[in-house]
Structure 1
Amino acid sequence: MQQPVIGMKARYELVVTEEFTAASMGSGLLPVFATPCMIAIMEGAATKCVQPCLEEGWSTVGSMINIKHMAPTPIGSNVYAEAELIENDGRRWLFSVRAYDEAGLIGDGVHERYSIENKRFLEKSAGRKTNV
């Protein structure tokens, strides 16, 4: 298990296809990279960054994201997100996140995650299901 270090980074990449567009996601009407998908790759980069620091049976869940989506990206473009650990207070992890396409920066902000024990978290989730 790796020790967390402020400044550690990870990257998450994908190619924008029709399924990742605002029109497909319902977050807009145009065939451009959707903001929810940009957020997902930012979260993916943050998850990838800290997973080596966690014990087996543990992972992280997103608890807050505050981002700006600043530029449109067309279908067929390569996009990636980078997450950099900027704070770690025990189970709380805070990241600076940025997303890029081939022309440059498309989004940035901050993202918070918490370490959770998978089994307990899933049990808690199952307990929230109601019988209708």
Structure 2
Amino acid sequence: MRTPEIGTSHTLEYTVRPEDAATFDGEMIHPVYSTPSVVRTMERAARLALLPYLEEGEVGAGHEVHVIHRAPAPIGAHVRVTATITAHAPRRLTCTTVTNHGDRVIATGTVVQGIVAAADFRSRYEAAQDAPGPAPGAGAGHRDDPALR
């Protein structure tokens, strides 16, 4: 990974869709931007912040997410997610995120991406397809994974 500049930001504009609503077992619980959907757009904005720094043959993989979902945004709302690079290590990039609906902050958080060789990630993915998952807290992507050190 090329050295990213701390403070670099990427902003993503997004319109909340019905499939982004809080839904469980096929039933819409609330017609608002759900927390999992907020996390998905946080991760997307952080990925877009990372892309200019990846070297040939590298990929970013979600590693850690923290979110505080502060307020609702209805279906149809236009939200803005800004991911700002706040830290990096040889195989890791951290972004803070702020999600706004108009002038109101509806979510804040942190997204950490691991940087791995695409071939290694692909082989781990293929191995996972044929085997039961690792014990909780173990395996690819875990904070103790040597590939992310």
When normalised by structure 1's length, the TM-score is 0.89
How far apart, in 1, do the equivalents of 2:25 and 2:17 lie? 12
CA deviation map 1:62-113 (0-9, x unaligned)? 1111110000111111012111111111111111111111241100021111
Task: Please state whether the residue corresponding to 1:129 is helix, strand or coil.
Answer: helix
How far apart, in 2, do the equivalents of 1:5 and 1:84 lie? 10
Aligned to 2:118: 118
Aligned to 2:16: 16
Change (3 A) 1:57 1:16: same
Aligned to 2:101: 101
Write the mapping of 1:1-132 to structure 2, written as runs, cut at 5 A.
Answer: 3-23=3-23, 29-130=29-130
Give structure 1 regions of 4+ aligned residues with deviation exceeding 3 angstroms. Answer: 24-28
Q: Do the aligned residues in 1 keep the contact of 2:5 with 2:85 (CA within 8 Å)? A: yes
Aligned residues: 132
Change (3 A) 1:24 1:66: same
How far apart, in 1, do the equivalents of 2:13 and 2:25 lie? 18
How far apart, in 2, do the equivalents of 1:71 and 1:9 lie? 23
The amino acid across from 2:81 in the alignment is: A
Change (3 A) 1:129 1:48: same
The amino acid across from 2:129 in the alignment is: K
How far apart, in 2, do the equivalents of 1:50 and 1:113 lie? 8
Cα root mean square deviation, aligned = 2.3
TM-superposed deviation, 1:25: 8.4
The runs of 5 or more residues in structure 1 that have no matched partner are none
Task: Please state whether the residue corresponding to 1:71 is helix, strand or coil.
Answer: coil
The amino acid across from 2:88 in the alignment is: N
How far apart, in 2, do the equivalents of 1:94 and 1:27 lie? 35
Q: Determine what percentage of the aligned residue pairs are the same residue.
A: 27
TM-superposed deviation, 1:56: 2.3
How far apart, in 2, do the equivalents of 1:128 and 1:65 lie? 22
The amino acid across from 1:4 in the alignment is: P
How far apart, in 1, do the equivalents of 2:116 and 2:57 lie? 9
